[in-house]
Homo-oligomer: A and B are copies of this chain.
Amino acid sequence: MNHNVYHSIAEKLPTMSKSHKKIAKFILENTNTVPFFTVAKMAKKAEVSEATVVRFAVQLGYSGYPELQQHMQNSVQQQLTTVERLQMSSQVYEGKEQGIYDIFQDDIENIKTTMGKLDISAFNNAVNAILNAKKVYISANRSAASLGVFLQYYLNIVLENTELIRSVEELPEQLYKLDSRDVVFGISFARYSSSTVKTMAFAKKQGAKTIVLTDNLLSPLVPNSDIVLTAASQVPTFIDSFAAPLSLINALVTHVGKERINDVDCHLEKMEEIWEQLGIFYQKGHEESNES
Contacts and interface: CB of A to CB of B under 8 A. Distances in A.
B154 A103 contact: no
Contacts of A61: none
A154 B107 contact: no
Number of copies: 2
Interface stretch (A25-33, A51-59, A170-178): A25-33
Majority DSSP secondary structure for residues of A touching B = helix
Interface in A107-128: 107-108, 111-112, 114-121, 123-124
A123 to B, nearest CB: 6
Contacts of A25: 218
B76 A80 contact: yes
B115 A104 contact: yes
Place the interface of chain A in its size category: 35 or more
A253 B103 CA distance: 11
A173 to B, nearest CB: 19
Nearest to A93: B258
A235 B103 CA distance: 21
B241 A250 contact: yes
